[in-house]
A and B are shown apart, each in its own frame.
Chain A
Amino acid sequence: MGVEDNKILISHAPHIWRGISTDKIMYMVVFALLFPTAAGIYFFGYYAIYLILVSVVTAVLTEFVIKKLRRKRFIMDGSAVITGLLFALTLPPRLPLWMAALGSFFAIAIAKEAFGGLGYNIFNPALAGRAFLAMCFSKEMTTWVLPPNFSYDAVTGATPLGESFIYNTDKIFLYKDLFFGNTGGSLGETSAMFILAGALILIVFRIIDWRIPVFYIGVVALGSFIMGKDVLFQVLAGGLMIGAFFMATDYVTSPVTKRGRIIFGISLGVLTVLIRNFSNMPEGVSFSILIMNAFAPLIDKYVRLKPFGFYKKRKNA
């Protein structure tokens, strides 16, 4: 905000800026996402590259066109790239390309821009796009392939959390495969190791708050333990890792206060455990996050900070 008067500017204090802009943050996240992306390409082959490219390009193009239609300025701030990339990472590795494009279009056009663009969306656009596809093409969205070098020679198979998933090896090997990503599942969700590597960068540079993923995963572990499930398996399998680190931590759709974020993480964990154990869906991460996205504004409304110098009024004073 500045009014130019000859050449000297009048502007509000402060007159310096840290310079960590939205774009920088967004491209940091894109960089971190390249780790699980690389893992997805490694495990699921070249087709993954096409899927990712189609999603990202569709997302950016959609945003560009809509901004032009709304006569708003298009800023290449990287948020559309994140949405496209994140969306691609949640897809089954052999989804037809046109479906990916459709989902990516939905994510940007309906879930983001229709609400007013960056900062105004209620739901995480990538997850909304995925949920849209899951409703429309439930068969294609649950057709999984196994990485070519998987322990046994099936080409299509269930994801680890599916009911028909069986394994005949030692548990240690199962954990190892889950950790490195050598298992069936969505493009970017299989390799816990690569997701953690990317997430670690974001946490170290304080781009994301550790509270959400730590409480989310912690509560899922605790819940699985109470339900008598294999804790390590529940934590490593499915989309929990990528959901907790990259989707639940989306600024726009998560609370702003630290306490609010803890509540957010805990609620996510509870919802995920409930969906995994009591619904007929094998996986609950994306829907837990979407449900909690809707509650984030409510959490912000009721979890307020105590300002400096706030004293409770004594009753009889």
Chain B
Amino acid sequence: MKIVFKKKRSFRGLPLPENKITAEKSIENLPVPEKVVIPLQQNIGASCEFMVKRGDIVKTGQKIADSEGYVSAPIHSTISGKVLKTIKMVNPVTSNVMDAAVIKSDGEDSRVKCKKLFNINESDDFFGLKRIIEGIDKEEVLKKIREAGVVGLGGAAFPTHVKLKPPPEKKIDTIILNGCECEPFITSDHRVMLENGREVLMGLYIINKLLSPEKVYIGIEDNKKDVIEHLEKLIIRMNLEGLFEIVSLKSRYPMGAEKTLIKTITGRSVPMGGLPMNVGAVVNNVATAKSIYEAVIEDKPLIERVVTVTGVVTNPKNLKVRLGASVSSLIEKCGGYRDEFNSIIAGGPMMGISFTDTDFPVTKGTNCILVSKRKLQDEQNCINCGRCVDACPMNLMPLIYVRNTKKKNFKVCREYYIDNCIECGSCSYVCPANIPIVGYIKTCKSELSKK
């Protein structure tokens, strides 16, 4: 039975220089840090409230914060030790002030014990697990996923249990596992698929059980041929042929964006302002699938993730990191800086956020730390060349936004559907005048949301 399908035609995207220098590097563990800083706002949605206070003793995997909000996920301590203090810090994504807990390790890393959903023997192979998954209670599993604090690990960090529980009137017929990793430099998903392919597929199997769709696709860009082959073999070995289908996609940025991925694989366009479930699709990242598996089967909350540390560091690596470890400890593990640098980016070079403070912690959404030397050029006049219009995957006219944001005509931007912008950065990337178009768009969007 055919498992891998090739999509020849794709949306018009940008071919980017890949720079995936860590693609061959196996995931290494970062030692359990001495101290972690855990921000309480790590995902889209409501900010969490503390459940512990200064001086409390916590264990690894213990819930330290939660929220009543529907779109929210709890936050766990990633090491065992003592809560030193609670601090305020600036969320680099939203620029809001948020709370954070500083926890000092006791060096034991003792895990919190909790009730397991199933009794699993060490000897249970995949088929045993498959039988167990067949018999699960959906509500209980969803609760488990929420309690484990699982959020989308692709970058946006949307709480996963919300995605997996669509309103009953929305019929989900397609699940897409997103293994595109279309941003340059990042290889964390690549390595997870290669080294934890089994867990990823099991996680997908759980998602499949929860939503019972008609089609399950695994979308992978064709620059990761090794992953496609590996997963194909695994699917055969795990007897999942006919259920999961691997779609080999052309490497074009931003293929991994939800909307473009759904469009490329199913041909459906998510309506403006809508969610993937409006067209009957749910998209999950591969690392998310892995953490769903860990939450449901291994009873392990989301306390660590794989981060690619790359750029001008001595030894670029893929590191498995406890959340809350400081960025500087990651860079140190990679041998420090190799060369002059002037920018540190959390996330990929296209959508990542640059920051100055290397004490900043790794959060659930951090998939990459990129240290780079950047030549800043001055912004020049827009010459109306239309390259941004051609590059936009959402078919928008970015130059109009720049022009009108400069004139403070924010409402005009809305007439040109600025809300549909996914801020992928393609327009700024191609702009010959080096205009930070996305910056203008963000300014305009925040002005519009104020009114």
- Residues of A that sit less than 8 Å from B by CB: 1-2, 5-18, 20-22, 24-25, 75, 77, 79, 117-120, 209, 251-258, 304-311
User: Which residues in A have their C-beta under 8 angstroms from that of B442?
Assistant: 12
- Nearest-CB distance from A75 to chain B (Å)? 7
**B374 proximal to A (CB < 8 A):** yes
User: Which residues in A have their C-beta under 8 angstroms from that of B352?
Assistant: 13, 15
**B350 proximal to A (CB < 8 A):** yes
Residues B384 and A18 in contact, CB atoms below 8 Å apart: no
Q: Which of A12, A255, A306, A308 has the most CB of B within 10 A?
A: A308
Residues A256 and B399 in contact, CB atoms below 8 Å apart: yes
User: Which residues in A have their C-beta under 8 angstroms from that of B394?
Assistant: 307-309
Given contacts A11-B343, A308-B263, contact A256 B397 (CB under 8 A): yes
- Nearest-CB distance from A300 to chain B (Å)? 8
- Nearest-CB distance from B328 to chain A (Å)? 12
Given contacts A14-B425, A22-B383, A310-B272, contact A305 B343 (CB under 8 A): no
Given contacts A22-B383, A305-B395, A308-B395, contact A14 B274 (CB under 8 A): no
A9-B342, A307-B396 are known; give 19 further A-B pairs, CB within 8 A: A9-B376, A10-B354, A13-B347, A14-B438, A16-B429, A17-B429, A18-B429, A21-B377, A21-B432, A22-B383, A22-B432, A22-B433, A25-B432, A254-B384, A256-B385, A258-B390, A308-B269, A308-B394, A309-B272
Residues A14 and B350 in contact, CB atoms below 8 Å apart: yes
Residues B376 and A307 in contact, CB atoms below 8 Å apart: no
Residues A119 and B382 in contact, CB atoms below 8 Å apart: yes
Determine chain A's interface SS by DSSP, over half rule.
loop
A5 to B416, CA, bound (A): 35
User: Who on chain B is nearest to A252 by CB?
Assistant: B384
Q: Which of A15, A17, A258 has the most CB of B within 10 A?
A: A15
**B439 proximal to A (CB < 8 A):** yes
User: Which residues in B have their C-beta under 8 angstroms from that of A254?
Assistant: 384
Residues A15 and B372 in contact, CB atoms below 8 Å apart: yes
Type the 1/0 row for B421-437, where 1 means its CB is closer than 8 Å to any CB of A. Answer: 00101001110111010
Query: Could you write out 10 A-B pairs with CB less than 8 Å apart?
Result: A10-B356, A13-B351, A13-B423, A20-B430, A119-B381, A119-B383, A307-B417, A308-B259, A309-B394, A310-B395
User: Which residues in B have their C-beta under 8 angstroms from that of A307?
Assistant: 272, 394-396, 417, 420
Question: Which of A1, A5, A7, A253 is the one whose CB lies under 8 Å from B439?
Answer: A1
User: Which residues in A have their C-beta under 8 angstroms from that of B434?
Assistant: 17, 21
- Nearest-CB distance from B309 to chain A (Å)? 16
Q: Which parts of B365-382 form the interface with A (CB within 8 Å)?
A: 370, 372, 374, 376-377, 379-382
User: Who on chain B is nearest to A25 by CB?
Assistant: B432
